[in-house]
Amino acid sequence: MLVAVLPAAARHKSDAWARNQFSTAERMREALSGRPAGERTRRDYERAINAYRRVYLGAPTSTKADPSVVASAELMVEMGRRFNDDDALRSAIKEYGFLRREYPGSRYRFEALFTIGEIYKDDLTDSRQAQQAFEEFLRRYPRHHLADQARSELEDMAQLARKQADRKKVRASRQAEEKSDATAADANLGPPAAAKPTRVTGIRHWSTPDYTRVAIDLEDDVQFESQRIEHPNRIFFDLFDTKLASTLVGKSFDVDDGFLKKIRVSQYAASRSRVVFEVDDVLDYNAFLLSNPTRLIIDIRGKQAAKAKPFGPMPGDATDADTGTKQPTQDTSAQIATVHTEAGPKKVIVEADNEDEDAPNLEAPEIKPVTKRSPEPLTPVPPARRAGKSKLPPRPAIDVREAQPTASGDRSLIRALGLKIGKIVIDPGHGGHDTGTIGPNGLQEKDLVLEVARRLGKLLETRLGAEVVYTRSDDTFIPLETRTAIANQQQADLFVSVHANSSHDPDARGVETYYLNFTSSREALDVAARENAASDKSVHELQDLVKKIALKEKIEESREFATDVQHALHTGLSARNPGLRDRGVKKAPFVVLIGANMPSILAEISFVSNPADERRLETGEYRQRIAESLYRGISKYASGLSGVKVASKIDKSEGQ
C-alpha cells in the first residue's frame, strides 16, 4: 500500500490526546510545506500522512477525526501531483470515500465528493468516473454552492468529448480520402486545448496591531489585478487563469480585527478567481507574489496604523480588556492560530514539550515560514520554553531616566515619549535551502549567523533582561516578508538581522551595519541585491516599497542604532584582529527590513569569502566575540533611551 495503515488502538484515546496529536501532525505538515518542492521526499509525505491517520484511528470519535482524514487525503493528492503518482491519487480518492462513509455528518463530505470528481477529471483523466462523481454531487446536493461548479465541470467534459469526436471523424475522413494527414486535420479544428488553470489551494490570515496580512496559496505563479471600491469599503483581487479548490468556492472567512472584516472567495469566471476583502477604515494596501511555495501576500493597513507607535507600547495604552483587541499571546507554553485551508478553518494549538512519544518525527521547525496551509506562521516561541529549559530569569527593575538626544543632537518621537526597550527580535539570515555565502573552505553563512544569533540572544536575556524572539532557531528557510512580520506581530522594540558578507575579492575584510533607506552607493546596492536574492517581489510593487521606506519615522532611530552597533562591532573585533576594516554605517533598501515597525538594522559581521576570516569564524571563541560586540552595541543604543533593563548596572568585567 502507499502508506502503511496504523493499527487501531484497542482502546480509544481521549479528545485531548487527539488535539495534541493533531497539533503534532499540523507541525509536521508545516515543516513539509516550508521546504522547496524539489526537496520534499515521498517518505516525508508518508510520515506526515501517518501522523494524521494516527488521530482518526486512535480517537475516531474525537472532534479532530474527520479533519485529519481530510488532511491526509490532501497530502496524498499533493504527493500524487508532486511525483506524478496515480496510485497516490487513487489512495486520496479512497481516503475521501472513507470520510463520506465513516463520517456521513461531516461538514467536509460535500467537498470530498466534489474533489473526487476533480481528481478523476484533472489528474487521472478518467472522464467516465469524473462524470459519475459530478452527477452524484448534483443529485445529492443540487442547492449546494458547488453545484454550479459541478455543472460547469460536466459541460467542460461534454465540450471536450465533442471536440475529440469531431477530430476522430475528420481524421478518419481525411485518411480515407488520402488528402491530408491527421495533424493537418487537427490544425483545422483550431488551437489546442489551453493549459490547465492554476489552482488556488488555501487562504490564510493573521493580524498585527498595525496591519493585517493575508496569504493566498497557489500551485504556480499567476497574473492578478486589484481594485478598491467604496460604499461599502472593499478591495477585490482577480486572479487570472486560476481555479479555486473545491473547498474554497463560495467560502467566506470572518476576520474582524479592526482593519479587515471578512474575506469572500468566488469563481468569478471559468478561469478567473476573485477574492474580496470587506474592509473597515483602510489607509492603504499592497500585494506581491512569493514563490517556493507560491503564494500571493496582501498587506492591508488601517488608518490607525498611520498613527502607530514607533515601537513598543506607549504610556497609558489601553489593555486588551479595555479594547477587546486581539494581541499576540505571550509568556505561555502554547500559541493558538486560525488557519483557513482546503479543509476549512482550523484552530491550531502550537504547543511545546507535549508531543506524543510515539508520534512520527519529521524534525518540524518551531518557527514557521508563510507557506501553504501553515499554522499561524507568526507565533514563534522563545527557544528557552520550546526546548524545555527553565524560564527566563526575573527581569530586573527598569532603570528610568531621561532619554538622551541622538548623535545629531535631536530628540526623536521615540525619545520624547520616553519609550523603552522590552522585546528584541533577532533574525539569523538565510536558512534551509538558502545557504547564503559559502566560504572557500565550505563554511555556510546560514550556520554561522544562527550560532552567533543564539549567543547574542543569551547575552541580551541574561545581561539586558530583554525578552528575545528568534525568527528561526534551526536550519529553516524563513521568507523575507515573514521575518519583519514576526517582529511586528510580536510588537518588538528592536529588530536585528545578522548576516555575513561576501566579495569577489578574497582579500575583502571588515564589518558594516545597514539601516533601511535609499542610497546611490553602488557598493551598498550590490550588497542589498545579494541579500535580497531570496525575495520574489515584482516590478509593479516598486511604488508600494518606496512608500514603506519613505514614510517610516524610524529611520533616524535606525541610523542611531546602526551607528552604536557598528562602533561596538568594529571595536570588539579589531582589538585582536589587526587590519579589520571599519566599513561604516550604510543605508540600503533591504527587503528584510521593509515594513518593520521598530528601529531595525542588518549587521554584516565579517566576510566569509575571506579565507583568513573564514578560519576565525569557524571557532567558537571568535563567534562569541562577535556576539559580545553586537550585544555592547545594542546595550549602548538602549542606554540612550529613557528606560533600560539593567544596562547601567552590568558588571563591567562581564561586558568586556
pTM of the model: 0.46
The verdict on residue 482 lying in a domain is yes
Does 120 lie in the same domain as 31? yes
Could you list the residue range(s) of the whole structural domain that residue 630 is in? 419-655
State the pLDDT at residue 310: 37
Task: Please give the single-letter amino acid code of residue 489.
Answer: Q
- Residue 386, pLDDT above cutoff 50: no
The verdict on residue 367 lying in a domain is no
126 and 120 in contact (C-beta within 8 Å)?
yes
**CATH code of the domain containing 274:** 2.60.40.3500
The verdict on residue 87 lying in a domain is yes
| Total structural domains within the chain | 3
The verdict on residue 390 lying in a domain is no
The verdict on residue 462 lying in a domain is yes
Does 219 lie in the same domain as 115? no
Residues contacting residue 187 through CB under 8 Å, at least 6 positions apart = none
Task: Report which of 454, 580, 562 is spatially closest to residue 516, judged by C-alpha positions.
Answer: 562
- Residue 86, pLDDT above cutoff 80: yes
The verdict on residue 7 lying in a domain is no
The verdict on residue 189 lying in a domain is no
SS3 235: strand
The verdict on residue 299 lying in a domain is yes
Does 603 lie in the same domain as 480? yes
What DSSP character marks residue 353?
A: S
Domain boundary residue, one of 100, 131, 160: 160
502 and 607 in contact (C-beta within 8 Å)?
yes
Does 228 lie in the same domain as 100? no
Percent of the chain predicted with pLDDT > 70: 65
* Strands 582-588, 467-470: pairing kind: unpaired
State the pLDDT at residue 73: 93
**CATH code of the domain containing 625:** 3.40.630.40
Does 592 lie in the same domain as 464? yes
pLDDT tens for each residue of 407-454: 666 655 555 555 667 889 999 999 988 889 999 999 999 999 999 999
Q: Assign 465 a pLDDT band (cuts: 50, 70, 90).
A: confident
Does 215 lie in the same domain as 137? no
Does 333 lie in the same domain as 245? yes
- Residue 607, pLDDT above cutoff 50: yes
My answer on whether omega of the bond before 36 falls inside 30° of 0, hence cis, is no
Domain boundary residue, one of 136, 160, 184: 160
State the pLDDT at residue 406: 67
pLDDT tens for each residue of 235-249: 999 999 998 887 677
Task: Please give the single-letter amino acid code of residue 138.
Answer: L
SS3 68: helix
Does 615 lie in the same domain as 502? yes
Q: Assign 275 a pLDDT band (cuts: 50, 70, 90).
A: very high
Does 614 lie in the same domain as 470? yes
- Residue 404, pLDDT above cutoff 60: yes
Does 283 lie in the same domain as 153? no
**CATH code of the domain containing 93:** 1.25.40.10
pLDDT tens for each residue of 519-577: 445 565 565 565 555 555 544 454 455 444 444 456 778 888 889 999 999 999 998 88
Does 648 lie in the same domain as 580? yes
Does 330 lie in the same domain as 224? yes
426 and 469 in contact (C-beta within 8 Å)?
yes
Domain boundary residue, one of 140, 160, 180: 160
State the pLDDT at residue 652: 38
Residues contacting residue 626 through CB under 8 Å, at least 6 positions apart = 452, 455, 569, 572, 573, 605, 606
591 and 535 in contact (C-beta within 8 Å)?
yes
